[in-house]
A and B are shown apart, each in its own frame.
Chain A
Amino acid sequence: MSTQVPEEQEQTDPETQETETSVEPQESPGDRRRAERDATRQRREQAAAQPAEPDEDAVLLKVFRYDPEVEGKMEPRFDDFYVPREKGMTVLDALIYARDHFDTTLTFRHSCRQAVCGSDALFINGRQRLGCQTQISDLDNPVRVEPLPHQDVVKDLVVDMEHFYDQMHAVEPFFQPEEESGGDLEEYRQTRDNREKIKMSTRCIWCGACMSSCNIAAGDNQYLGPAAINKAYRFAMDEREGENMKEHRLNVMDQEHGVWRCQTQFSCTNVCPKDIPLTEHIQELKREAVKQNLKFW
C-alpha cells in the first residue's frame, strides 16, 4: 500500500483571464467576480495542498483506490487528500472536493446528496454509511473511506451491485393483490394502522449497506439478505394483498436461504441509514412462518 499526497497541479500559473482583467480599462462586475473567484480558489488550494498535519483547517481523507486496467492502480492502495474543512461538510462533499480539485480520476457513485438515492453507501471509518449523510465533524480525523465490504470492487469506491439487485428481484418485489380494486377510480382500502405497520419497511433506498454489514450474507451468497427480506415483509404485511398472497410470501421466506439464516446480530439494523428495524422485521416473519406451519399440522 503506497500513499500519494496530492500535488499542487492546477492554477499555479497565472490565468489568461487575469491578464485580461489587467488590460481592461474598466472593471466590470464579471471581472470583479472572476478576480474574487480566483483568489478564493487559490486560498482553498493552498489550504488543501499545504498542511503537513491534518488540523482544524483540513480533513485528511484516506481513500481506497483500485482500477483493474490502469497501471499503478491495479494493486489496491490508499491515497491521501487534504480537504479544507467547511461547516456542514459531509464525507461526500469532501470526496467531491478531492475529485474536482486534485484528482478527476477518483471514482464513486453519488447523485441526490440528500440520502434518498442510495448510491453512495460507503465504508467510512469502519462502518457502512451514506457519504452524503455523514458529517465530517462527527468523525475522527483522518477519515478513511473504502468501498462496501463483501461486494466486488469495480473501481475505487464503486462496487458491483448486481448481486444485491438479484436478491431484491428474487422476492417478487411487486404488489400482487388477489382481488381487483372496486373500479376505475377506486383505490384499495387500507387502514391507517396497516399503513403505519408497513411504513418503515417502505423506506428502503436499496443502498446495500445492510447486506454489506451482514456476516451471514458474507458467508452464504444465496442468503436473501436483510433488504430483500424487508421488501418481502413490506408486501406480506400489506393487508391489501390478501391472506393467500401472504401465505405465498411466507413460503418464499420459509426456505433454506430465507429468514432462518438470520442469527439476529443486528448489524443490518445498526447501519441502515433509513432506520428500518430490519432485524425486527425478519424476526416477525420467522414468527409468522412458524404460525403458518402450525396451521397446516
Chain B
Amino acid sequence: MHEHDVLVIGGGGAGLRAAIAAHEEGADVAIVTKLHPVRSHTGAAEGGINAALREGDDWELHAYDTMKGSDYLGDAPAIETLAQDSPGETIQLENWGMPFSREDDGRVSQRPFGGLSFARTTYAGAETGHHMLHTMYEQVVKRGIQVYDEWYVSNLAVTDHDDPADRECHGVVAYDIKTGKVEGFKARNGVILATGGTGQVYDHTTNAVANTGDGAAMAYRAGVPLEDMEFVQFHPTTLPSTGVLISEGVRGEGGILYNSEGERFMFEYGYANNAGELASRDVVSRAELTEVNAGRGVEDEYVYLDMRHLGEERITDRLENILHLARDFEGVDGLEEPMPVKPGQHYEMGGIETDENGETLIDGLYAAGECACVSVHGSNRLGGNALPELIVFGARAGRHAAGKDLGEAEITTGKTSEIEEETDLETPVEPGAVTTTDEDVAADGGAAVVEPDETVRHTVERERTRIEELMEKDEGIQHAELREDLQKSMTENVNVFRNEEGLKQALEDIREVREAYQDVYVNDPSRTFNTDLIHTIETQNLIDLAEAITLGALARDEFRGAHWRQEHQERKDDEWLKHTMLSWNDGSPELWYKPVILEGEAKTYEPKERSY
C-alpha cells in the first residue's frame, strides 16, 4: 500500500495546482494520473485566463459579469472567490515562468472576450492552456513531487457508514496501466479529485478521449451529490469530423457563417440582428442547428465558417493555428475554402458538489477543476473562466487538504434544512443500477468498514474482484459498441435542443446500455497496458453521468443558459433559481434541489434579463 498525506487524482491544471499548494503547506503529496501530466486536456485550452489585473478593472466587475453570464445560477461566494483570487494566481503563473503574451511595457497582455465588460483575458498566444499546463508541471518537477503516471484510479476508498455525510475517504485504488497491478493508495489527510471533463458522454466533443468523467462518477457512487449536470456547454464552431475546436477568435476577427444557400443566416433569419456571428455560444449553436434542421445545412450536418475575405496576411498573423487545425483535422485549406463547422460538446458546467475550499460532503474528499461544481459557471460558462477556476480552486483544495485553515465556507454541502425535496419526476424507465446487490456494502458480515487501512484494503479487494470478473469472461458485449450507442443517443436527444420526448428516449437508451453492460467483457487477456480494460471501466462512468445529465434536464422545465427546452421557452426565476442535485442512494438516483446563493460580500445580485 502506498501512503501519502495528500493524494491528487489527475495531473491537469487543477491537479497540478492542488499538488503544488499542498506541497507548499508542507504536506507529502503525490499525483496519481491515468495520463502523464503533460498529456492532460488542459493543454488544449486556447483563449485565456480571466483576471482583473489592470486599472479600471476590479474583481467586483469580474464577479458581476460572471454572475450575469451564469444566468443567475452561480453561487455568489464561489464567484466572488474566483474573481478575488484569480489575479494573484495568474501572476503566480507568470512568476513561475509562464510565457504570456506581452505589451510594449513588458507586462502581460489582456484581450476582450465574450460577455466581459473589460478586456481581462490574459493569454499566451492561442495556446494558453498548453503553457499553463507545462509551467505547472515544471514546478512539480522542481519540487520533486511524486507522480504516479499512467495509473488509472478505479475507485475511492470510502467508509461504509449508512449516511453519506458520515462517510470518510481514506484513499483510492489504482491500476498500474503498464503492469496491470491493482494497488491501494492511502491518504492521511485527503484525496483531491481533479479528473476533468465528461465530453466522451457525447460522440461529438472538443474534449480529449480521456475525458470520461471518472472522478465525478466515482464520487457520485460513493455518495457525493452531483450538481447541475444538465448544463452542458456546446461550442458553435467545431470541425464536423473530429470535434476539434475552431476558436471564437475567427469570428472575433470577422469570420462569417453561411448556410448551404450562401445566406449569412445570423442576420438573414434574425437569430442575432446586432451581434450576428458574435452572439453568445448558446445563441449561435442554436442558430446553426435550426438551419440544418430547416434543410439549409451542408450535407444535412454543418454550416460554413468563412475567413477567406480577411486576407492571407491577417489570417497568418492572427489565426495561424486555425489554418493548421483545418488542414490537419479536416483536410481543408482555410485560405481557399470556407471551413465546415457545427456545434460540439465543450464543457460540463455541473459536477461534484463542493464548497469554496474544495470540500465535498464526504470527509477527506475534495474536488477541483472541471469535474467539480463549486458553482462558478451556473448555467452558462463565460470563455476564459475555466482556467482561473483550475488555479483558484485547485490551490484552495490543496491548501485545505494539507491542513491550512481557510475559514468557514459559506456554501454548504449535502442536504441541509433549506433543501427542497423533489422526487416526483416521471421517468419512462427505472433509472440507476440494474441490480442492487450488497457488494457495495461491507463485505465481512455486515459490520461497516470504517478503519482507514481496512477501508483501503477492502476497496482494493473489491476492485481486484471486479477486474478479474471482467477479464475472465470470454464472451459478451464489448465496450466500444456500448459507448457508441450511448454517445449517439446523447447527441441526438440531450444536445443543444431538448424536448421531453427526446429526453425520455435518452433515458430508455441509457437503460438499455446499462443492461447490456451487465454482459460486458474484456477481450484483451494481457496485463500489460490493457486499454481494453480501462475503456471498459470508463464506459460504466459514462453511463452514470449520461443518466445524471438527462435526469436533470428532464426535471428542469425552463429555459436557462445552455439548457433549452422546446416546451418551456422562458427562464422561470420563481421556480428555478435552484441547483439540481442528484444523489446515488443504494443504486438509484435521488433528485433534490438546493437554493442558489445570490448574496455576495457587498451586494445581492438581482436576476436581470441577459442581453449583450
Contact = CB atoms under 8 A, between A and B. Distances in A.
Given A195-B102, A199-B99, A114 B39 contact: no
Contact of B525 (A10, A37, A70): A70
A175 B492 contact: no
B532 A114 contact: no
A205 B125 contact: no
A187 B489 CA distance: 48
Contact of A104 (B44, B102, B523): B523
Size category of the binding interface on chain A: 35 or more
B526 A185 contact: no
Given A87-B241, A135-B328, A184-B88, A155 B99 contact: no
A66 B478 CA distance: 22
Interface stretch (B90-98, B261-269, B360-368): B90-98
Interface in A241-294: none
Contacts of B125: 199
Contacts of B87: 185
A188 B130 CA distance: 20
B404 interface: no
B263 to A, nearest CB: 24
Given A175-B97, A187-B107, A117 B527 contact: no
B501 A67 contact: no
B529 A158 contact: yes
B242 interface: yes
A113 B97 contact: no
Contacts of B36: 119, 161, 165, 206
Q: Which of B104, B135, B245, B525 has the most CB of A within 10 A?
A: B525
Interface stretch (A27-35, A56-64, A75-83, A216-224): A27-35
Contacts of B130: 116, 203, 205
B505 A174 contact: no
A113 B209 contact: yes
Contacts of B39: 109, 111-112, 117-119
A104 B524 contact: yes
Interface string A161-175: 100010001000111
B185 to A, nearest CB: 21
A28 B44 contact: no
Contacts of B512: 17
Contacts of A17: 512
Contacts of B524: 104-105, 107
Given A154-B529, A174-B141, A235-B97, A113 B244 contact: yes
A270 B209 CA distance: 28
A108 B532 CA distance: 11
A56 B240 CA distance: 22
Contacts of A107: 524, 529-532
B331 A87 contact: yes
A189 B106 contact: yes
B481 A240 contact: no
Contact of A206 (B38, B88, B481): B38
A12 interface: no
B53 A185 contact: yes
Given A10-B481, A154-B528, A202-B99, A189 B330 contact: no
A108 B135 CA distance: 27
Given A111-B208, A117-B41, A135-B331, A154 B178 contact: yes
Contacts of B492: 33
Given A110-B209, A117-B40, A169 B141 contact: yes
A198 interface: yes
B35 A155 contact: no
B2 interface: no
Contacts of B324: 115
Interface in A184-239: 184-192, 195, 198-199, 202-203, 205-206, 235, 238
Given A67-B528, A173-B141, A195 B488 contact: no
B138 A205 contact: no
Contact of B106 (A67, A103, A190, A202): A190
Contacts of A29: 501-502, 505
A132 B481 CA distance: 22
Contacts of A185: 53, 87-88, 91
A70 B526 contact: yes
A185 B94 CA distance: 10
B38 A118 contact: yes
A235 B97 CA distance: 9
A177 B512 CA distance: 58
B508 interface: yes
A191 B106 contact: yes
Interface string B319-337: 0000011001111100000
Contact of B99 (A30, A105, A108, A198): A198
A202 B165 CA distance: 46
A42 interface: no
A171 B329 CA distance: 34
Nearest to B134: A202
B486 to A, nearest CB: 12
Contacts of B509: 30
A69 interface: yes
Contacts of A128: none
Interface string A113-133: 111111100000000000011
Contacts of A186: 91
A100 to B, nearest CB: 4
B56 to A, nearest CB: 15
Contacts of B142: 174
Contacts of B135: 175
Q: Which of B88, B208, B501, B527 has the most CB of A within 10 A?
A: B208
Nearest to B479: A104
Given A117-B43, A189-B106, A195 B88 contact: no
B131 interface: yes
B28 to A, nearest CB: 20
A158 B524 CA distance: 15
Contacts of B575: none
A100 B478 CA distance: 9
Interface in B445-493: 478-481, 484-485, 488-489, 492
A174 B53 contact: no
Interface in B85-141: 87-88, 91, 94-97, 99-108, 125, 127, 130-131, 134-135, 138-139, 141
Nearest to B485: A37
Interface string A89-114: 11001000001110111011111111
B12 to A, nearest CB: 11
A88 B244 CA distance: 12
Nearest to B331: A88
Interface string B226-244: 0000000000000101101
Given A188-B95, A205-B43, 19 more contacts: A73-B526, A88-B329, A100-B484, A105-B524, A105-B525, A107-B529, A109-B39, A111-B35, A111-B208, A112-B209, A114-B244, A117-B44, A154-B529, A175-B138, A185-B88, A191-B102, A235-B97, A238-B97, A240-B97
Interface of B: 35-36, 38-41, 43-44, 53, 87-88, 91, 94-97, 99-108, 125, 127, 130-131, 134-135, 138-139, 141-142, 178, 208-210, 239, 241-242, 244-245, 324-325, 328-332, 478-481, 484-485, 488-489, 492, 501-502, 505, 508-509, 512, 522-532
Which 10 interchain pairs have the tightest Cβ spacing?
A175-B97, A189-B106, A100-B480, A105-B524, A174-B138, A174-B142, A88-B241, A117-B39, A187-B94, A111-B208
20 contacts: A33-B489, A87-B331, A99-B480, A103-B523, A107-B530, A107-B531, A112-B41, A112-B44, A115-B328, A116-B44, A132-B328, A132-B329, A177-B97, A184-B88, A187-B91, A187-B95, A188-B94, A191-B106, A192-B102, A238-B99
Interface of A: 10, 17, 28-30, 33, 37, 67-70, 73, 86-90, 93, 99-101, 103-105, 107-119, 132-135, 137, 154-156, 158, 161, 165, 169, 173-175, 177, 181, 184-192, 195, 198-199, 202-203, 205-206, 235, 238, 240
